[in-house]
Structure 1
């Protein structure tokens, strides 16, 4: 989501936020999507259709190994 919307990684790395406070990270992601017009009650596919986009056909790219 960060890469897709060009969001800054702060105050710390995503892995730290999810590890130490996963509910906070999920809440932030929810609020970000909601502010961009997503309706969580519709589900992923209905939101994609509503936004006029096609659903992704491939899984997101995973970056192997540790990069830091």
Structure 2
């Protein structure tokens, strides 16, 4: 459950989705099935097929698969 909560947060950051923080963990604690269904639907709407796995989706959707967003760290 804890792992899926962090994945939801990553999904939000990657696609600039509204929400996040404590709300994501709360949704997974109260109803993990609902939270996972929302994530599945979001990926399907973006052209991914979660049932075939990440690597197969990257090969299938070369133009759709995005690299993780790199956040700038501390600077000099």
Q: State the TM-score, normalized to the length of structure 1.
A: 0.68
Match of 2:38 in 1: 28
Name the structure 2 match of 1:2.
12
Q: Report which structure shows greater RCO (CA 8 Å, sep ≥6).
A: 2
Q: Which runs of 5+ in 1 are unaligned?
A: 57-68
How many Å apart are 1:54 and its aligned residue? 7.8
Q: Which structure 2 segments of 5+ residues have no match?
A: 1-10, 69-76
Q: How many residues align?
A: 55
Q: Where in structure 1 do 4 or more consecutive aligned residues deviate above 6 Å?
A: none
* Alignment RMSD: 2.3
* Cα shift at 1:48: 1.3
Within a 5 Å distance, the mapping from 1:37-56 to structure 2 comes to 37-52=47-62, 53=65
Using the size of structure 2 for normalisation, the TM-score is: 0.61
Q: How far apart, CA to CA, are the structure 1 residues paired with 2:27 and 2:34?
A: 8
